[in-house]
Amino acid sequence: MERAVVRCVPWESKLTISFILDGSQKHMLRDQTEELGKVLARIANNALKGQGKAKKSKKNKAEQTAAVEPDVRLYYNGDFVAEDALNHDAWQDGAVLHVGDSKYKVERNPPSFTVAELPVSLLASFPEVDKGVFVDSLSPALDAFDMDGVFRIKEKQHEGLATYFRRSKFKLLSQHDIVLSEALVSDPLHSELLDKLSTNPVLKEKVVQRSTALQVTVLQSLKEASKKLCVANTHLYWHPKGGHIRLIQMAVALKHLSRLTSEEYPGVPLIFSGDFNSTPSSGLFQLASQGAVPESHADWASDGPDELCPMAISNPFQLISACGEPAYTNYVGGFHGCLDYIFLEPHAHQVEQVISLPSHQEVTTYQALPSVAHPSDHIALVCDLTWK
């Protein structure tokens, strides 16, 4: 019998149901107070869609119309669970979910680990966090580990950027968050870049429409007041053909950070992490790690001639990727690659060790990410850094 893993805890308003249906990993997020019947109807609809996709691959059109919505029911101790039962009551450990001829044994809140230990001085950045998760889940949980967090909501969205630090080790001095497109247009610091971008109105409009944010936090060591740290966190434009847009976004971010660490906090070292949506062969990674990108770089033409606006961009920081260049940090159906990095200044910090990423076998156990064992489509980068 297959497994259906349910996470349902009293301090969260949602529950998750994870199982494999027609060879595809399903990860459903539903209200705990929703009636069971609505979830079962959604599962039945997903199963019907799966049948439809399978039929389309066959030549016999008569078979394409043969797809029938399967009967979906939930049983507990051999008894049928009423569809008006609420989710938090219906999905009990040991219940059995029937989807047509397939059966799934429900495992409610199965243990995934027995001991959790965090380093003495912890700094964690999350490039994409739902506001509700930040308020209701992450912050209460990490507060128990002596950690404070700051959150930057993305414009017109329900998720944002989060940075956590251990309050017994660091003091929050200031925050300098920006929306990259707004800073580009309104801050004189970026006037030269804006002038160049304005030569291509199509590209300019596309860049200005993006709501991408940069979260910037300045921390001070409580043990040694002379030690300060600038922590930047971002999630850049996602589109595969958006390499040129990400270069512009990165240029704005680096200039903003350079002014902060040269004028307001002279000499303060930078740690810049996030989901940059850029592989090691990209212009953005070259800009970050090698210090410059020429106007001849292929990424300027990543979305064709209509948005071509080549320019030379330099990086005022000397940065390295603390975790190197993993084979992938994102593994989904149809794509896998390294998109996430922790950039640091090697003159200020040294990498003591890099925590190994999950094995390929672990990542692909459930075909791709996210999965029952891994709730995100990205893999966390973890390393130990020391001051020099």
Query: Mind telling me the catalytic residues?
Result: 275
Q: Which residues, other chains included, contact 177 with Cβ-Cβ below 8 Å and sequence gap of 6+?
A: 152, 213, 214, 215, 216
Q: How far is CA 187 from the centre of its chain?
A: 28
Classified as helix, coil or strand, 384 is: strand
Classified as helix, coil or strand, 367 is: coil
Q: What's the rounded Cα separation, in Å, for the pair 171 and 191?
A: 34
Q: How many CA atoms, within 13 angstroms, populate the side-chain half-sphere of residue 172?
A: 16
Contact assessment for residue 285 and residue 346, using Cβ atoms and an 8 Å cutoff: no
Q: What's the rounded Cα separation, in Å, for the pair 129 and 153?
A: 9
Closest CA to 34 of 58, 56, 16: 16
Strands in 147-153's sheet, in edge-to-edge order, are 123-130, 159-166, 147-153
Quote the crossing angle between the two packed helices 283-290 and 243-259, to the nearest 10°: 30
Question: Angle at the Cα of 136 (from 131 to 139), degrees rounded to 5?
Answer: 85
Question: Angle at the Cα of 256 (from 253 to 258), degrees rounded to 5?
Answer: 105
Positive or negative CA dihedral for 86, 87, 88, 92?
positive
Beta strand 102-108 pairing with 96-99: antiparallel
Residue-wise DSSP of 110-132: --S-S-----SS-EEEEEEEEHH
